[in-house]
Amino acid sequence: MGEMCPKKTNRWLALGSVLKFYITHAPRIVAFLNERREQVGNAVPPILMPSWWLLTYAFTPVIAIIIETVVKLQTRDLVICKQRQLLVLLANDIRDMFKVRHIDDEADNDFDDLPIANYVRRDNSFVLLATLREYVDDLGMRVQAHWPVMDANEKTIVLQTIAQFAIGLSDGIVKVETERDSTNNAAVDLASLIMPMDLVKMRSSTFISEVIEPHEAQLQATA
């Protein structure tokens, strides 16, 4: 092909580069591998399967917004309370992208009446497969070309995989705690949601009782 694929690692930035490479060169990759199928006994690698391409296209937009958030989280002057806000916003963006819904929401009181084949559920979050079908349709003509060649079972598996990914990712991000305790585990007692500009306006006694004393042991351990 005359192109070098970026090295894939477990870092979000690297994953985003690899997915961008796949999508940018998709027609050439497929043609390149198809020309060489006879050399491997007509074996079909996953990258030539329509389901593989559908998942690649489906996951690429969400990887992009994760990378955008990761870059912001690495800003040196970012305070902890802003880090939490960025993670909450990211989780909400993912839920909105894939229409992840919560069973406890008032609008979903009729959840028990839904046929089990119509949705994917994990804990209290669920996604309707019909909404994911619309999401796939909106990914563009290249994706739509892969959809008709799959059988019904394969289509369902693809949608279920996207749903599990969306629920697991959005629910998992909400549980991420940027603040650590003295042993570098996720902190249980979190610092107050307060900005530095608010600290300078506090009375000394308030600063000591509400900010310093609740975290004195951690501050001493990490000093």
**Could you read off the pLDDT of 103-113 as tens digits, one per residue?**
876 455 566 77
Tracing tokens 């992840």 back to the chain, one arrives at 100
What pLDDT shows up at residue 158? 94
User: Are the C-beta atoms of residues 187 and 218 closer than 8 Å to each other?
Assistant: yes
Q: What is the pLDDT of residues 69-79, one digit of tens each?
A: 888 888 877 77
Per DSSP, the residues of 48-86 read GSHHHHHHHHHHHHHHHHHHHHHHHHT-TT--HHHHHHH
Evaluate if residue 62 carries a pLDDT over 50.
Answer: yes
What pLDDT shows up at residue 106? 47
Q: Which whole-number Å values give the CA distances from 216 to 57, 81, 83, 139, 220, in the listed order?
A: 48, 18, 22, 51, 6
Query: What 3-state DSSP class applies to 128?
Result: strand
CA distance 70 to 91: 13
Q: What is the reported pTM?
A: 0.74
Q: What average pLDDT does the segment 176-200 reach?
A: 63
CA distance 73 to 70: 5
Amino acid of residue 192: S
Q: What is the pLDDT of residues 125-184, one digit of tens each?
A: 899 999 999 999 998 888 888 899 899 999 999 999 999 999 999 998 887 766 655 555
CA distance 159 to 58: 10
What pLDDT shows up at residue 73? 83
Q: Which whole-number Å values give the CA distances from 68 to 39, 153, 214, in the listed order?
A: 41, 35, 33
Q: What is the pLDDT of residues 29-46, one digit of tens each?
A: 777 777 776 665 666 666
Amino acid of residue 30: V
- Confidence bin at 26 (pLDDT 50/70/90): confident
Q: Which residue has the higher pLDDT, 152 or 80?
A: 152
| Sign of the dihedral defined by the CA atoms of residues 167, 170, 172, 174, in that order | negative
CA distance 210 to 88: 24
What pLDDT shows up at residue 189? 60
- Report the percent of the chain where pLDDT is more than 70: 74
